[in-house]
Amino acid sequence: MTTDLASYCDPLDLLHRFVSTAFTISLEIAKANVVLQTNDLSLTPANSTLSSASASDTNGHPASCLWKIVRDVDVSNTLTEASIVMLGNVIVYSMGPACIVAADREYREVLAFIGASVDARAYQDSIFPALCRLTEFVTGPCLSHSAHAELSAAVGDECNA
Amino acid sequence: MTKLHSIDRAVLPLRADLSIAGAHCALATNSEQIVAAMSRWSCSSPPPSDRTFVLDVFVDPNLPATADFKTETHFRGLHHLVFATIGSHEVFSFDLARRHVAGVVSSMTAASAGFWISHWLPITLGVMGTTVGVIPLHSACLDRGGRGLLLAGVSGAGKSTLSVALARCGFSLVSDDWTYISRNVDTAGTGASRLIAHGLSAPVKLLPDAVRHFPELNGRTPKLWFNGELAFELNAEEICRGPQRAESHPRWLIFLERDSTRGCSFHCITAADARQFFESSAERLPDQLPGTTATRSATLEAIASCPAWRVRSGEPPEATAQAIANFCERN
């Protein structure tokens, strides 16, 4: 199966909310059943299962987390230093326009746009670990004060606050 | 180094209540400059209501400045969340479900009053307005004696140019590009509601070809806007030669169409056609916000119930404005 990505232009959808994510894949990430919706199969980790499920895992169990990851072919920026903004139930993880991820604990969702210039290695090394830690945030127990350090560890750097 | 910010009200000691186009914005920040920039909208503290959204802005003096926020701002959205990155490190999140906007900016951005007044507050209201019953409408609005003229049309129809021309022949400008519509329920208890069209005193945006109609633009340099468009950014009262108004009550709907032949004609259109125009040109909203979609539809239906005309004009803006002014006198 190939991934067919095209530039997206809808004057009534300037935020690209409605980019089609035709692929649905079941994963187990951080002990959570994750349903990944994406428009680009290269954004799926190895050993994942392609399925037609939309809100449940392949065994029919309710998904404990939804990942919606959109390959943003209209963004050619390179990755910048990471910025993490924590806002109660929401964490926004950004590496500039080439990587914007939001995790919502109450909605149990991890939502992301990944730019065209992000190759497989950069995705696996820099972004996928952060997605996994954000999944822990979404599905795990209440976030403690030590979460700052944990999130920082996800990208292997130190924090400034 | 990863920049990590945890934003909660404990680190945002400064508070202000803002009344913006019928919405209530509860602002918290650690920057006196931001509070000062937004002071034009200050109001006494109302109780939280379905018109309230929260805006939390943390200023980190260690963040690098963004050279040009108009060309370095990037928006995306999924489900109930909208994200904006400004430059490499400034980030905003708009949570439409919880009516909560939060962001981290540099000291330079915090100090730019123009950024907040002319750009970020209008953008914020454009994103959040629908969630608090204030519907952004891609129309100009002009006022004459408390009665509002909403001027709609496809991009490039000449709304802004005609708005300036109308403002020079007896109307007052409320807005030239985006108008924010709220519905106030009659306090007399009749259950009736009244539409209010709000402007934000934003600068007037005219495309470079407006020089043909306004010679005073000669020598000015158009700038690049968020949408990649090149346009003049003008002080409204200066270019309109008169005071701007904050709001009006819609009375006339005009759908402007350019015509290649001379003359200016008025054709009555139905409420259904007017509603269809607004519905078909409105931003698509996600399924996660069904109540918001319903609120917008109800407001668009109310707007479409105003008397409406399609105006086809091949005349210059001054002549079209005069024809519309005469028409409104009779209707």
* B316: its two tokens: 């210059």
pLDDT of A156 reads 44
By C-alpha distance, the chain B residue nearest A156 is: B2
Residue A9 in contact with partner chain B when CB distance is under 8 A: no
| Closest by Cα among B106, B85, B99, B87 to B130 | B99
CA distance A27 to chain B (A): 21
| Closest by Cα among A80, A54, A73, A139 to A105 | A139
Residue A105 in contact with partner chain B when CB distance is under 8 A: no
pLDDT of B187 reads 61
**CATH class of the structural domain B136-330:** alpha beta
pLDDT of A143 reads 56
Task: List B82's β-bridge partners, or say none.
Answer: B77, B94
pLDDT tens digit string along B219-250?
A: 999 988 877 789 999 999 999 999 999 999 99
| Closest by Cα among B55, B62, B49, B22 to B37 | B55
By C-alpha distance, the chain A residue nearest B64 is: A81
Give the total residue count for chain B: 331
* pLDDT > 60? residue B72: yes
Alpha helix segments (H runs only) across chain A? 120-122, 128-139, 147-155
When mean pLDDT is compared across A116-130, B177-191, B285-299, the lowest value belongs to B177-191
Residues of A in contact with B82 (CB under 8 A): 15
Contact at CB, A107 and B80, closer than 8 angstroms = yes
Residue A146 in contact with partner chain B when CB distance is under 8 A: no
Contact at CB, B78 and A75, closer than 8 angstroms = no
**Domain definitions of chain B by residue range:** 9-132, 136-330
| The B100-105 sheet, strands edge to edge | B14-20, B23-29, B52-59, B100-105, B90-95, B81-86, B73-78
Residues of B in contact with A68 (CB under 8 A): 78-79
pLDDT of B145 reads 95
| Interface probe, candidates A90, A109, A133, A155, chain B, greatest B C-beta count within 10 A | A90
How big is the A-B interface in CB pairs under 8 Å? Answer: 127
Q: What is the ipTM of this complex?
A: 0.89
pLDDT tens digit string along B173-188?
A: 999 999 999 998 766 6
Task: Please give the average per-residue pLDDT across A77-95, as a whole number.
Answer: 94
By C-alpha distance, the chain A residue nearest B7 is: A87
pLDDT of B223 reads 87
Q: With contact defined as beta carbons under 8 Å apart, do A18 and A10 qualify? A: yes
Q: Which residues does B266 contact at the CB level (< 8 Å), separation at least 6?
A: B309, B310, B311, B327
